[in-house]
Amino acid sequence: MSNSLSQEPEFDSQLLGNVKVVLCQTSHPGNIGAAARAMKTMGLTYLVLVNPKEYPSHEASVRSSGALDVLDSAVVVDTIEEALADCRLIIGTSSRNRALPWPLIEPREMGEIIRQQTDARPVAIVFGRESTGLLNEELQLCHYHVNIPANPEYMSLNLAAAVQLIAYEVRLASKIESSQNVNTEQGYSDAPADDLDKESEQLASFEEVNGLYNHLESTMKQTEFYNPEQPKLLPARIRRVLAKAHLNKGEVNILRGFLSSMDKYIKRQIKGQ
Ligand code: SAH
């Protein structure tokens, strides 16, 4: 940073540039603008809007103040799956505990995870609707549930306030300690370069893990282990297993290969009947 004083901390722009803020079905355009402003103050620029109620909007632009650039480059998509497709680490934010608990962390732990897991980028941080928050099905697409500790009698922050707080933690996590040996071209990593080159060792993207989930569901239907008429908690439990496993590409391929062999086996059995 050429224009910063030597005693000012430096921030890892590679980390900051790899964090997507995903807002699901935001109702009030003013909140989108305020979220863009909150992001920009912390050095985040990558905003994704899933099916916003009203956007583009004059109110969003007004509330963004000087962060029109973040709004202008925002990507609008129809589904959360599109927003997450290339992400390797997905964090869902919610003030509410869920009937089926998800791996729960606090914002500071979230920052630490994002800082340490350099192979888990891009990262998505997902925010819910003003009225109803994140749906269970949306949280179940995430690796972690991050909860901002708040007054137990009044836990729900305004959407843009929640974005501000979470973005602040990302910024703190991106601070480069003077003792850190950082290669700004590639980010920092403890893994030997050879390992990073191996594609199968790379963490799987959301699209790959979701493909595995869909395959599992389809095979489980064929074997009648899973009855879609009475799903109960099975889909969510399987999603949670996958979230906890942090699978790499090679592992996804093995499991898909096994499922394909099962599918073929089932077909042969049906033919032979
Ligand atoms: N009434 C909604 C809350 C919506 S607040 C509900 O019951 O879930 C809008 C969004 O801000 C939430 O979906 C979440 O993404 C974020 N948020 C608000 N308060 C939060 C908290 N205490 N911890 C984590 N995220 C929070």
pLDDT value at residue 6: 59
Closest atom of ligand 1 to CA, residue 127:
15
157, 164, 165, 168, best to mutate for ligand 1 pocket (most atoms within 8 Å of CB): 157
Closest to 108 in 3D by CA, of 36, 156, 168 = 168
Query: Is residue 156 lining ligand 1, measured as CB closer than 6 Å?
Result: yes
pLDDT value at residue 39: 98
92 Cα: distance to centroid of ligand 1 (angstroms): 10
pLDDT value at residue 177: 84
Enter the DSSP assignment of 248: B
Strand order in the sheet with 104-105: 75-77, 46-50, 19-24, 123-127, 89-93, 144-146, 104-105
H helices present in the chain, as ranges: 13-17, 29-41, 58-64, 68-72, 80-84, 107-116, 136-139, 159-173, 193-197, 206-222, 234-245, 249-272
Closest atom of ligand 1 to CA, residue 158:
5
pLDDT value at residue 273: 77
Closest to 83 in 3D by CA, of 210, 195, 260 = 210
Query: Is residue 94 lining ligand 1, measured as CB closer than 6 Å?
Result: yes
104, 130, 156, 158, best to mutate for ligand 1 pocket (most atoms within 8 Å of CB): 156
Query: Is residue 134 lining ligand 1, measured as CB closer than 6 Å?
Result: yes
93 Cα: distance to centroid of ligand 1 (angstroms): 7
Query: Is residue 95 lining ligand 1, measured as CB closer than 6 Å?
Result: yes
pLDDT value at residue 180: 62
Give per-residue burial for 64-84: e unless 16+ CB within 10 Å, then b: beebbebbeebeebeebeebb
Quote the percentage of the chain above a pLDDT of 90. Answer: 86
Q: What domains does the chain contain, in order, with CATH numbers? A: 10-176 (3.40.1280.10), 197-272 (1.10.8.590)
Closest Cα to atom 20, ligand 1: which residue?
95
Task: Give the SS3 label for residue 186.
Answer: coil
Asked if 159 and 35 touch (Cβ cutoff 8 Å), the reply is: yes
Query: Is residue 150 lining ligand 1, measured as CB closer than 6 Å?
Result: yes
Query: Is residue 92 lining ligand 1, measured as CB closer than 6 Å?
Result: no
Structure tokens at 105: 């962390």
Structure tokens at 27: 């109702």
Enter the DSSP assignment of 185: T
Closest Cα to atom 5, ligand 1: which residue?
130
pLDDT tens digit string along 193-220?
A: 555 558 999 999 999 999 999 999 999 9
HSE of 97 in the Cβ direction (CA atoms, 13 Å)?
Answer: 5
Residue 77 phi, psi (nearest 5): -130, 165
Residues of the chain scoring pLDDT < 50: 1-2, 183-190
133 Cα: distance to centroid of ligand 1 (angstroms): 5
pLDDT tens digit string along 122-141?
A: 999 999 999 999 999 999 99
Distances (CA, A) of 23 to 45, 46, 79, 200, 218: 13, 11, 11, 31, 30
Closest atom of ligand 1 to CA, residue 131:
1
